[in-house]
Structure 1
Amino acid sequence: MRVRHTTEEFIVTGINYKKSDAAVRGQFAVNNEQYAALLATACQFGISDMFVLSTCNRTEIYGFAERPERFAELICSVCTGSPDTFAEMAYTKAGSEAATHLYRVAAGLDSQILGDYEILGQIKNAVKQARAAGFIGQYMDRLLGSVLQASKAIKTHTALSGGTVSVSFAAIQYIREYAESRGADPAGLKIALVGTGKIGRVTCRNILDYLHTHNICLINRTEATAQALAAELGLRSAPLSALAAEAALADIVLVSTNATEPVITAPHLAGSGQKLIIDISVPCNVADDAQRLPGITFVDVDQLSRIKDETLQKRSAEVPKALAIINEHMAEFSAWCHMRRHAPVIKEMKSKLMGIPFISPVLLCDHQHTGQEEKVQKVLNDFAVNIRNGNTPGCYYIQAINDLIA
């Protein structure tokens, strides 16, 4: 039988951009294969309901454990980073503070680029995998439902995610500025996009929409994936084996892969002249020696996040509205948690009321029984309100009987 969890037991442990750079975060990034391994062993660490959120900004684990340290141990069991490094950079929040953190993360309030709405899809994907493995129970399901509703309300009723600012779009802005600083037309630059997963596809469409160029070559570990996107968008693709040749031809190499080891190495770029390399992967998929080659300008997600423009200024003004919406949804969730604690009392009350002889189903015909059930339910609703307001369920039993008789 599943444990009935409460907000007081809810925990989040993780690292993010506020204290660790992209290189450190990369040591604790969790890809799909690692996530599957992590879910397969979580029970051995005394962890029940949970999910792991791993993005370019953060790696966090939310849920319930015997003690918070078990979360860190689980993450470190599948990642390359050391437990000491994680402990130095990590934060742990518990109870309502942990729940508030999740609401803020999902809304984009805790992102490197304020209002980055891509985080919501990343949360949904992380939860989907955890749910398939049986790690999302009633409490987590209800909390996540509330969190997603709050995020959608913020998206609908505020301009927090207005405009087109995200890590992938920041890369486009950087390319435009890079071209202008050299007196070049961005549309005339040759671009090699390495990695055509979800973020890669978004980035590719941003290039088409905002740089107005089709001079793009798509490269992916699974060649068919790159070929399909290239056919859809009218672009060119190449196999991973042609990476060095395509990188040599390109003015810009944009990397959005999900590999655990660098995909771009020094031999891919050596002697190829002036070139801009943008890596929006975490962990970084461009080797250190490749980043330092003569003529190479290298940019990672931390540098991209420093963009400042009018869109971000407008978003900052929307933060109070977003927080007010979060507070409303948290209050509703808190009320549900409060009533959930009294569910056994309410169930027992219904049983007792239906068992009173003069309203017993045995003594009633079908239509009378239905009417009495409706009356009992109305009394139970009032009973639940009294519990919520007074938190003294025992005082209301006699009142409930009197209400039913009345």
Structure 2
Amino acid sequence: MHGAYSKDITNFHSIGINYKKTDAAIRGLFAISEAQYQQVLEQAKAAHLEDLFVLSTCNRTEIYGFAPDAQQLMDLLCEVTNGDPNLFAQLAYMRSGEEAVKHLYQVSTGLDSQILGDYEIVGQIRNASRFSKNQGSLGGFLERLVNSVVQVSKLIKNETGLSAGTVSVAFATIRLLEKRVPDIKNKKILLFGVGKIGRNTCKNIMEYLCAKDITLINRTAAVAEEFAGLHGLRAAPYETLEAELQRADIILVASNAPQPTVLASHLQNSGPKLVIDLSIPFNVEQAVGELPGIELVNVDELSKVQDETLQMRLQEVPKAMEIIEEHMAEFLYWYKMRKHAVVLKAVKDKLTEIHTREIQQQKNSDHYELEDMEEVSSRIIQKMINLMAGKVRKESDKSDQYIAMINDIFETGINQD
């Protein structure tokens, strides 16, 4: 994996798995924690791969970056996860060059999400790229690309109806509860895990279903107590988890742990219950669903809950694609001109070198006007650069030919491959 390689866009790749070909159980095997992410970046640096980031959500695990071979990026992911690399290779998609760029635009705008128009994904992309940047692993290309996709995501949200209406895993939970538990006001509800997803789901239950008998448990007790105090709910200590699981009619699990936290042994002989696992990887042991009278639902099943909002969003897809195409073209133009800028700087350096040498020769002669000579020659150099850059911008369809010719004439040593 070692060795230099070109940062040409053909060496830019996106590799990953998502909900389209894998269920939540498999995705959980390849989910990346913060510690694993750190490990990926350290191993990438050791292999001289220094412009990449990893996106790991409940619906996907993906890596974006430059490498001489896309397989190297896949290996980075698989080396730190618990899944089988051969299984990942069978289920993974690989995109390179402009197709990889386009994929990130589609992911960031919710066009590739399990719930069409999911706007939360753009925040996850921003956080993932920021983590990479803080570790010194995000280069100029990816930073510019992420900034562009974030901007496009905002435009699509504001100028189309792709994200209009309320459709999310938290809201899908409400739809499910409406259908399965019509008398939910009379049911005892336990929420285990008071992170973002847990809080959103709890708020939806109170707002849309008017349920109030909700108990909160969190590993960090203060988090549950604060949220419970704000909303008039009950908080219970983590140590009472098993007793509260036995007591509840409906159990929502969003504990965000790397392994199951709710086990079949916790719910033996506990009576009928609906258990909803909002976590990836799963935080409810699969054997729970085999217990008599207990129904277990996970995030994949929740995402199948349809709403009329989704039909409305489908009509907005063409508008969103137009915005993506426009801004992706701008990004690719920036990339092309960025390559040209490297050559132009080298040409300027070459002319400056000639200028310095000529001035020195004049200094060694008997008569010269140093001030006038330096001013005039500097102007000449800048004018030449401006002339070449202007021609390249004006004749954009021939810009590659012009730059290649300039590069060759001045023997800059810049490799444009």
TM-score range, shorter chain: 0.7 to 0.9
Question: Is the 8 Å Cα contact of residues 348 and 381 (structure 2) preserved in structure 1?
Answer: no
Counterpart in 1 of 2:90? 88
- Identity across the alignment (%): 47
Counterpart in 2 of 1:5? 7
| Letter paired with 1:292 | E
TM-score by length of 1: 0.87
Query: What SS class does the counterpart of residue 51 from structure 2 fall into?
Result: strand
Work out which of the residue numbers 368, 372, 380 in structure 2 matches 1:363.
372
Work out which of the residue numbers 333, 337, 340 in structure 2 matches 1:335.
333
Counterpart in 2 of 1:212? 210
Work out which of the residue numbers 390, 393, 401 in structure 2 matches 1:382.
390
Counterpart in 1 of 2:409? none
Cα distance in structure 2, aligned partners of 1:51 and 1:171: 31
Counterpart in 2 of 1:33? 35
Residues 164-175 of structure 1: matches in 2 within 5 Å?
A: 164-175=166-177
Q: CA deviation at 1:34?
A: 2.1
Change (3 A) 1:322 1:9: same
Counterpart in 1 of 2:402? 393
Question: Is the 8 Å Cα contact of residues 56 and 62 (structure 2) preserved in structure 1?
Answer: yes
Counterpart in 1 of 2:17? 15
Residues 205-354 of structure 1: matches in 2 within 5 Å?
A: 205-348=203-346, 350=348
Cα distance in structure 2, aligned partners of 1:170 and 1:375: 63
Aligned residues: 390
Cα distance in structure 2, aligned partners of 1:373 and 1:84: 57
| Letter paired with 2:7 | H
Question: Is the 8 Å Cα contact of residues 339 and 388 (structure 1) preserved in structure 2?
Answer: no
Change (3 A) 1:131 1:233: farther
Give unmatched runs, 5+ long, in structure 1.
Answer: 398-406
How big is each residue's C-alpha offset from its partner over 1:64-112, in whole Å with a ceiling of 9 and x where there is no partner?
2242222222222221111121112111111111111111111111111
Aligned Cα RMSD in Å? Answer: 2.9
| Letter paired with 1:63 | G
Cα distance in structure 1, aligned partners of 2:32 and 2:89: 17
Cα distance in structure 2, aligned partners of 1:329 and 1:85: 35
Question: Is the 8 Å Cα contact of residues 15 and 92 (structure 2) preserved in structure 1?
Answer: yes
Moved over 4 A (4+): 348-357, 368-381, 394-397
Query: What SS class does the counterpart of residue 60 from structure 1 fall into?
Result: strand
Give unmatched runs, 5+ long, in structure 2.
Answer: 359-368, 407-417
Cα distance in structure 1, aligned partners of 2:278 and 2:340: 48
Question: Is the 8 Å Cα contact of residues 28 and 282 (structure 2) preserved in structure 1?
Answer: yes
| Letter paired with 1:6 | D
Counterpart in 2 of 1:49? 51
Question: Is the 8 Å Cα contact of residues 47 and 70 (structure 1) preserved in structure 2?
Answer: no
Cα distance in structure 2, aligned partners of 1:153 and 1:200: 29
Change (3 A) 1:310 1:78: same
Q: CA deviation at 1:347?
A: 2.3
Cα distance in structure 1, aligned partners of 2:404 and 2:336: 17
Question: Is the 8 Å Cα contact of residues 350 and 380 (structure 1) preserved in structure 2?
Answer: no
